[in-house]
Amino acid sequence: MNRRRRVYEGKAKILYEGPEPGTLVQHFKDDATAFNNKKHDKIEGKGVLNNRISEYLFQKLGEIGVPTHFIKRLNMREQLIREVEIIPLEVVIRNVAAGSLSTRLGVDEGTMLPRSIVEFYYKSDELNDPLVTEEHITAFGWATPPELETVMSLALRINDFLSGLFLGVGIRLVDFKCEFGRLWEGEQMRIVLADEISPDCCRLWDIETQDKLDKDRFRRDMGGLVEAYQEVARRLGLHVDNPTRTRSGPVLVQSK
Ligand SMILES: Nc1ncnc2c1ncn2[C@@H]1O[C@H](COP(=O)(O)OP(=O)(O)OP(=O)(O)O)[C@@H](O)[C@H]1O
Ligand SMILES: [Mg+2]
C-alpha cells in the first residue's frame, strides 16, 4: 500500500518521506512495547487513538506558543510533521512519584513530589536508555548548555500547561516523556517539541478513582488499554469513532 520511502521504523511509529522537502509522515502503529522491547504485543486501535490525542495536545501547545514539529493530521494513523534533528534525550517530567523513580529512590508510588522534577535519559536501546546528568549531556555534546536550558524551560512550560489541561478533565498528569529536535530555517535553528505526547508516554491517573489511563495497563498486564486511551480521548472531547477500523470505504452488511 505504501510506496513512499520509509525513513525509519521504530517500536511504535514509522516515519515516511513527506510530500515536501523537510517534511515527514509520522505513522502510528498498533504495536505496544515495554521494558525496551522485551514485552511486545499488538493492540488494535492504539495507533489511531495516539495519533488523535497527540495531534490535539501538539495543537493546543502550539496555541500557547510552544514550537512543535506538528503540521497537520493526514488520516486516522498519520500526521505530517517537520523533519528535525532529534536531540538524543528522553526528557521526563514528573509531578508524582511512580515507575522507575519510585523503584530507584524508594519513594512510594503516588507521593506528590515537592516540585516538578526533570530527568534526562540518553536515547540508546543498546544501553537501555540510561539516566544521565546535564554534565554528561554537555560533555558528550548531545546538547549545548543553551540548548539544554531551552529544553528545560520548554519541558516545564509543557508540563504546566498539560497538567492544567488534564486536571480540567479529571486526570492527574503524573509524569510524561517528551523529545525535542533542532529545526533549521536557513541559518536559524530553533528547538521544537517532536515525536508524540500520548498515553503511551504519559502516566495519567483518574483524579477520583486513581485508575490508570495509560501504558502502565500494558506494562503491568492490567488489560483494558484501548478502553483507557479511548476514555482519555473522550474526556478531551475527541471523537474517535472506531479506532480499530483500518480501512475506510464500504462496510459489508450481512443479509439474512
Ligand atoms: N520531527 C521528527 N523528525 C525526525 N525524527 C523524529 C521526529 N519526531 C520523532 N522522531 C523520531 O522518530 C522515531 C519515532 O519512532 P518510535 O517512537 O517508534 O521510535 P522508538 O522505537 O521509540 O525508538 P527510538 O529509540 O528511536 O525513539 C523516534 O526515533 C523519534 O526520535
Ligand atoms: Mg519512541
Q: Give residue-wise pLDDT tens across range 90-141.
A: 999 999 999 999 999 999 999 999 999 999 999 999 999 999 999 999 999 9
Which is nearest to 146 in space by CA: 191, 86, 177, 85? 191
CA 31, CA 48: separation in Å to the nearest integer? 11
Assign 175 to helix, strand or coil: strand
C-alpha grid cell for residue 171? 486526570
Q: Which of 11, 14, 122 to mutate to test the pocket of ligand 1 (most atoms within 8 A of CB)?
A: 11
Cβ proximity of 149 and 191 under 8 Å = no
Place 81 in a pLDDT band, splitting at 50, 70 and 90: very high
What is the overall mean pLDDT for the chain? 95
Q: Which of 7, 8, 29 to mutate to test the pocket of ligand 1 (most atoms within 8 A of CB)?
A: 8
Judge residue 140's burial from the number of C-beta atoms within 10 Å of its C-beta, 0-12 exposed, 13-18 middle, 19 or more buried. exposed
Domain ranges, ordered by start, for the chain: 6-82, 85-224
51 alpha carbon to ligand 1 midpoint, in Å? 14
Q: Which atom of ligand 1 is nearest to the CA of 12?
A: 18
Max Cα–Cα distance, the chain, nearest Å: 71
The model carries a pTM of 0.94
With a 6 Å cutoff on the Cβ, whether 181 touches ligand 1 is yes
Cβ proximity of 166 and 231 under 8 Å = no
Whether 246 shows a pLDDT value over 60: the answer reads no
Pick the residue with more confidence: 161 or 241? Answer: 161
Q: What pLDDT does 248 receive?
A: 52
Q: Which atom of ligand 1 is nearest to the CA of 33?
A: 21
Place 243 in a pLDDT band, splitting at 50, 70 and 90: confident
- Taking phi over 0 as left and psi of -120 to 50 as alpha, with beta for the rest, 74 belongs to alpha
Domain 85-224 has CATH 3.50.50.60: no
Superfamily per CATH, domain 6-82: Phosphorylase Kinase; domain 1 (3.30.200.20)
Q: What are phi and psi of 134, to 5 degrees?
A: -60, -35
Q: Which atom of ligand 1 is nearest to the CA of 194?
A: 8
pLDDT tens-place string over residues 172-231: 999 999 999 999 999 999 999 999 999 999 999 999 999 999 999 999 999 999 999 999
Q: Which atom of ligand 1 is nearest to the CA of 129?
A: 25
CA quadruple 191, 101, 233, 235: dihedral sign: negative
